Chain A
Amino acid sequence: MSAYDLLIAPFADYGFMRRALVACLCLALGSGPIGVFLMLRRMSLMGDAMSHAVLPGAAIGYLVAGSLSLTAMGIGGLIAGLSVALLSGAVSRSTVLQEDASFASFYLTSLALGVLIVSLRGSNIDLLHVLFGTILAIDGPALALIGGITSMTLVILAIIYRPLVAECFDPGFLRTVGGRGPVYHALFLLLVVLNMVASFQALGTLMAVGLMMLPAAIAQLWARGLTAMMALAAATAAVSGYAGLIASYHLELASGPTIIMTAAVIYGFSILFSPSGFARRLFPRPHLAG
């Protein structure tokens, strides 16, 4: 098998592989930076919770459309994700519950509701599709939706960059200068939910966060500056997407999980060999003179 057969032929020969690859690259560009901000806000697990929250909305969209229509499910997911984010925010502001606790309550409710709705009507196969995605079935409109969400994410991130950084780094300061931190927080949550909806068909609700958090964690292990971190996260996600698709094609594995596993392998490697990793602890370099 030549290098061409191994690395390029799957995409040259099959349209569905090409669309899957483009979808992965788009998702990587948007999800990478979003994941870095989620991690820096110490909301890594919140992202996970949010992805579950998207499920009932998608399920209702699925029921209404009567098929696995990405548009209907996407709109439903968007509404459900945003309501859970806003509701849990409101609950944590008005009760003694911390945001993580109220989030957990809402997403568990959401997940149960979602699975219930899907099981009312659909078969187990449908449920599997919703939970784990069908990246190889992405069509033109779905690709346009993903590309649109990615473009919007990057533009909005560029616009709200400074206030978002200030809100993550020192929310108290932003408050004293009247910087409307909650507005930017809400906008950021909107971007998170949008990106979840985008990665929904590709990876499914359960693994949608994988392409956000694993690359973000990898980036934090290697990079020091914020810009470098976001670039590295996007690059890692893109590489995982490409390598995952190649591997799943040749080894005949399910694509979504293979992509996430690829990212996980890079993560494992980073834990061992990054500057703060295990290897550096075992073989320390001599310290500097000053």
Chain B
Amino acid sequence: MSALLTLDNLTVTYDRHPAVHHVSGFFRAGSLTAIAGPNGAGKSTLMKAIMGELRPAKGRVQHQLVRSDFGYLPQAADINRRFPISVLDTVLLGAWRHTGAFKANGPKEYAQAAEALSAVGLGGFERRPIGSLSAGQFQRVLFARLLLQDAKVILLDEPFTAIDARTTEDLLNIVAHWHGEGRTVIAVLHDLEQVRTHFPETLLLARECIAWGPTADVMSVGNLLKARMMAEHWDDGAGVCEPPVAGTSMSQPPLGKPSIEEPAA
């Protein structure tokens, strides 16, 4: 299968300090990829760059997709959980591609919303205000909305954080279902066991790309150790990054002070 989304020497910075550094590679159409790595590895930043919310300082994200082909569940969504809106109306927002801002929801959209809600195990919750839901139930609602969005590419940023085992299992089933339908799913995860069990491919990120490919190969002890050795802090004295050597995704260490610290024993 072909490349659906290509990262071409992608660097995204905050205040000129790279959060994602010279990452190259591609996501195949229909692939199910986990993005793993330590805190501060640039996982969420990469997701935002793919969604076009952050502009790359260098390199680019290449694809032939339009906005409505993407479904995105950010990690810390700026959702107003106390807004007086019902579960059904929240899920119906997922039909935006068909209704847009002004068209009315038809019987088809209502049927799809009801179906999506029962798929996430929330049948009968239609009229409940979202303020009355638990964190897990609310995450189910957001998955139902994603179901309705019918997106080709689905990006999930830490979708199972602070969610109980049963909900996680149900939602992982939906992810597997999406994969079965041929959608491309990219998920940021921190639970390595989950990655190994449910995700055929992994991108191990530690600001730079440590490894990208079949999960079993990527999650080797050596690679994980390498990822853990990533320096978490910015190096205030870092020099300007030299262009990377052609053919690798790793950068040269900056001149002057070394940017990677020795790992603590």
A interface vs B, CB < 8 Å? 40, 159-160, 162-163, 165-166, 168-173, 175-180, 184, 223-226, 229
**Would you list which residues of chain B between 49 and 105 have a CB under 8 Å from chain A?**
51, 53, 67-68, 70-72, 74, 77-80, 83-86, 89-90, 93, 96-97, 99, 101-102
Residues of A within 8 A of B74 (CB): 172
B84 lies within 8 A of A176 (CB): no
Q: How far is the CB of A219 from chain B (nearest CB, A)?
A: 10
Q: How far is the CB of B83 from chain A (nearest CB, A)?
A: 4
Residue B136, interface by CB 8 Å:
no
Q: How far is the CB of B112 from chain A (nearest CB, A)?
A: 16
Q: How far is the CB of A275 from chain B (nearest CB, A)?
A: 13
Q: Which 4 A-B pairs have the closest CB atoms?
A: A163-B101, A178-B67, A169-B83, A177-B96
**Would you list which residues of chain B between 88 and 142 have a CB under 8 Å from chain A?**
89-90, 93, 96-97, 99, 101-102, 129
Most buried by B among A40, A162, A171, A179: A162
Interface residues on B, range: 20 to 34
Q: How far is the CB of A185 from chain B (nearest CB, A)?
A: 13
Interface SS of chain A: helix
Residues of A within 8 A of B90 (CB): 169
A173 lies within 8 A of B93 (CB): yes
B53 lies within 8 A of A169 (CB): no
Residues of B within 8 A of A180 (CB): 101
- Knowing A175-B53, A176-B72, A226-B84 touch, does A170 contact B101 (C-beta < 8 A)? no
Q: A170-B79, A224-B84, A225-B84 are in contact. List 14 more A-B contacts (CB 8 A).
A: A159-B102, A168-B80, A169-B85, A170-B80, A173-B79, A176-B51, A176-B72, A177-B67, A177-B149, A179-B96, A180-B101, A223-B84, A224-B129, A225-B86
B102 lies within 8 A of A165 (CB): no
Interface SS of chain B: mixed
B83 lies within 8 A of A40 (CB): yes
Q: How far is the CB of B184 from chain A (nearest CB, A)?
A: 16
User: A126–B202 Cα gap in the complex (Å)?
Assistant: 71
Residues of B within 8 A of A163 (CB): 101
User: A173–B129 Cα gap in the complex (Å)?
Assistant: 18
**Contact pick for A177, options B68, B79, B85, B102, CB 8 Å:** B68
Residues of B within 8 A of A172 (CB): 74, 77-79
User: A138–B190 Cα gap in the complex (Å)?
Assistant: 65
- Knowing A172-B78, A173-B93, A177-B67 touch, does A162 contact B101 (C-beta < 8 A)? yes
A170 lies within 8 A of B84 (CB): no
Q: How far is the CB of B216 from chain A (nearest CB, A)?
A: 32
**Would you list which residues of chain B between 37 and 53 have a CB under 8 Å from chain A?**
51, 53
Residues of B within 8 A of A179 (CB): 96, 101
Which residue of chain A has its CB nearest to the CB of B130? A169
A170 lies within 8 A of B67 (CB): no
**Contact pick for A165, options B53, B78, B85, CB 8 Å:** B85
User: A49–B53 Cα gap in the complex (Å)?
Assistant: 30
Q: How far is the CB of A271 from chain B (nearest CB, A)?
A: 18
B93 lies within 8 A of A166 (CB): yes
Q: How far is the CB of B54 from chain A (nearest CB, A)?
A: 12
30 chain-A/chain-B pairs, Cβ below 8 angstroms:
A40-B80, A162-B99, A165-B85, A166-B96, A168-B83, A169-B79, A169-B80, A169-B85, A169-B90, A170-B77, A170-B78, A170-B79, A170-B80, A171-B78, A172-B74, A173-B77, A173-B93, A176-B51, A176-B70, A176-B71, A176-B72, A177-B68, A177-B96, A177-B149, A178-B68, A179-B96, A179-B101, A224-B84, A225-B84, A226-B84
